[in-house]
Structure 1
């Protein structure tokens, strides 16, 4: 069947999935608002919601009240992630990195304009970064996201910027220029950073994982409370995270990438107030 042949598509399923994706952008929806956003006939929308409710994927907060997705989707997501080949293949590398630095380690992938955490191994510290698997966050302000963007093909990067501007009215030319400036630096040094841009009190470092074609497929990062980020830990992170990402890339038989990382200079940036 030709790729553009939609003859066999089930329109009712297409509409139901669109409703689910729309509902996932907010915690709850009034029927009238959901109807306006989805532009689906009210009767059809009600049947979709009733079906999802019967199957346990949607619940009504109170009789006649707003609708919300249930944690059944979260359970499915965790099952999918747990069976993901990339997670299972990189589990030893991620665990080894966590053991070496004793800080939370994340494996993340790009989804639209966000990064999604597909696996995480937490540190043994009482004060730690702990995200739910499946958590998403803006790519353009996160260490993982900026790293992923740095190694996207140019066409994909332009598409990302276009979608980012469409979905976020705060993104102006100055911010776009700043994103490109950071991307250029990451391409040279092979590591991305955020300085509490995503979470207050947390700094993060990330490095790219490539496949056998040289395409970026994920990032490995470590999230560290700023109060614990001294010179010694910063240096260890800057050595071990790129090393773990390179090891992960070798698992996928990726070609070698040469970066120019001045650890001492970056350490001073990481520990600066």
Structure 2
């Protein structure tokens, strides 16, 4: 079964919009684990507009599932944070400063030397490393040359084209996943995966170990409740046929 890591950035965004501590980020992380999530993901950015650096230290104290920190290793503060916290996994994403959300993967060919050094720095501290990449076999193959443990496939293109043709949307990801298996890399995926498109992806992408989902899951929780929503996502990942790939229209449940 592919593991579900819940990205709680949007919980922090909601909290920060009014100040104070409502919703309580730490309690939400505990609840996600209690409701079945096998991991917690955060993506701190330099402006701390959602997850704050202090949040990461606090989460380290209470997360019992896999703890995954995403971010741009070009930021010295991010490097220091990850090396101090020592999460189970760090996912390196080539975000520009001020970028709204991640929108592309690493060019692992052009950045091979740089990434090799960064990957080693984290692995030397016992941290598993995943590189965020586009679904291109050549980028996956070059990622392996950096020494990384895994790649995370950027799934926005799959989500955008899912309703226009499922097989065509998934095809590049299948090819990228097959390359990951060929070169001995673990495989994660994330970005815009949701209750509609997740099950097909999980069933058809070979070797998929983990998905990181935040925005869609938190939006769904507004309608279905957090515990029920996590169970719905876990069901999609279980590869057990549900008889209906689509979820009901919100408001009709």
- The two structures have a TM-score, normalised by structure 1, of 0.27
Kindly indicate whether structure 1 or structure 2 has the higher relative contact order, using CA contacts under 8 Å at least 6 residues apart: 2
More helix by share: 1
Largest Rg, 1 or 2? 1
